[in-house]
Amino acid sequence: MELLHVLRIFLRRWWLIAIPTLIAAAVTLPALFNRAPTAGGGFSTLINYSAAQSLEAIPRTEGDYQDIWLSSELTVNAFTDWVRGSRFKDEIGAALSETAGAEAYDPALLGISADNERSVGRIYLSYPDADLLALIAAAAIDVLQTRSQDYFAQLGGTPADVTILDQSPITAVPPPITDRFSPFLRIGLGLVAGIGLALLAHYLDPAVRRREDIESVGLVVLGSIPRR
């Protein structure tokens, strides 16, 4: 019976529920349908590489192939930490300063993350502009292959041998999940606000419309006149 009573309240004042919901939908849905495919996400690419010390830089009198593989793994581990730091981003900016078409590059918009699986390193790059991201990726590869000796003395003053295994195509990154669902959350808030208005209007309404309204305040109904 209580559920039926609440349902009657909502049906009687459905327009109070509809108004905030429709306003929220009118404000939100055009932006949702007209959104560019990359809004909020930008573009990204993945670079896989391997790296090892140059054997000519530090000649070794001992060691076998296992030693070489262990050296490669340690080199990639060190490179992963280097890529995550701010100095690697600075080196990319320096390389881009000599590249035509990179005048609009903004280092604050560049996202860099890295990890590795033993002797294979991975670099994830993201940027709002696809063309600039292509230049950034090329600059990052150049930094990997030519600047490492400035940061790792154990390389003997010679850049590590870096081989690019593959680079994924530059693709659009979908917007964050919070951005994708935020329009529906706004519409939901409009619906909640409308329900609140309907309940408030019912609470403030002094009119008596049904037998249950009288009985709810403790009065006894002796009789009623049918609507028809």
Cβ proximity of 50 and 121 under 8 Å: yes
- What percentage of the chain reaches a pLDDT higher than 70? 87
Tell me the per-residue pLDDT of 151-174, one tens digit each, with 9 for 90 and over.
998 888 889 999 999 999 999 887
- What Cα–Cα distance (Å) separates residue 104 from each residue in 10, 45, 52, 97? 55, 19, 34, 10
Taken in order of first residue, the domains within the chain and their CATH numbers are: 2-35+177-215 (no CATH), 43-172 (3.30.70)
Kindly report the average pLDDT of the chain as a whole number. 83
Q: In the predicted model, is pLDDT for residue 126 greater than 90?
A: yes
Confidence of residue 58 (pLDDT cuts 50, 70, 90): low
In one letter, which amino acid is 35?
R
Confidence of residue 100 (pLDDT cuts 50, 70, 90): confident
Q: Is 182 helix (H, G, I), strand (E, B) or coil?
A: helix
In this predicted structure, what is the pLDDT of residue 37? 46
- pTM for the model stands at 0.61
Confidence of residue 39 (pLDDT cuts 50, 70, 90): very low
